[in-house]
């Protein structure tokens, strides 16, 4: 069994839309996902989120970072064998600009309607995080998700709020 990997990702607003990155590398190559990455040892969550935003977007600054929730996400194979366990700290923020290309992937703005219409192009769990945590009526919470990886494609087995 692998150890839990802490991740900071951010729902980014720019010019009235939302910024996503299409990953160039496995495990989520070719899928649109939220901007973010690994939290370094000793790094605070907000600092990691801002660092990842600046690194992946080329933005000059980040405004209004807010914590939105946490997701315990399991990545499993078709037999249910655990491949990776992520502890994902989700935030939201605004940026004024971005560079459309980065070594991690291409970046693009989407409206809410576009994310719904093109949902097959998105990492399923990130899309659910975006949908549940980007609204003004969202209350911070703990969520659980399980992604199933089969032959390089991903399906969401479940995504649910933990109610204790």
Q: Please give the average per-residue pLDDT across 139-146, as a whole number.
A: 90
Number of domains in the chain: 1
Query: Per-residue pLDDT tens for 61-117?
Result: 999 999 999 999 999 999 999 999 999 999 999 999 999 988 889 999 999 999 999
pTM exceeding the 0.85 threshold for the entire prediction: yes
**Domain region containing 46:** 4-161
CATH number for the domain spanning 147: value is: 3.90.79.10
Q: Which long-range contacts (CB under 8 A, 24 or more apart) does 133-140 make?
A: 133/11, 133/68, 133/69, 133/90, 133/92, 134/11, 134/18, 134/68, 134/92, 138/68, 138/69, 140/67, 140/68, 140/69
């Amino acid at each position: 069994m692998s150890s839990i990997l802490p991740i900071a990702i951010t729902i980014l607003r720019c010019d009235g839309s939302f910024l996503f990155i299409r990953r160039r590398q496995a495990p989520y190559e070719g899928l649109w996902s939220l901007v973010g990455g690994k939290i370094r040892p000793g790094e605070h969550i907000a600092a990691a989120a801002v660092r990842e935003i600046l690194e992946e977007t080329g933005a000059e600054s980040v405004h209004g970072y807010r914590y939105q929730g946490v997701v315990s996400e399991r990545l499993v194979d078709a037999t249910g064998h655990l491949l990776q366990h992520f502890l994902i700290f989700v935030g939201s923020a605004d940026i004024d600009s971005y560079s459309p290309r980065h070594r991690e992937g291409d970046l693009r703005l989407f409206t809410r309607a576009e994310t719904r219409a093109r949902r097959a192009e998105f990492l399923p769990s990130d899309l659910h995080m975006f949908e549940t945590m980007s609204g003004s009526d969202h209350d911070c919470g703990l969520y659980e998700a399980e992604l199933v990886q089969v032959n390089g494609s991903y399906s969401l087995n479940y995504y649910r709020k933990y109610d204790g």
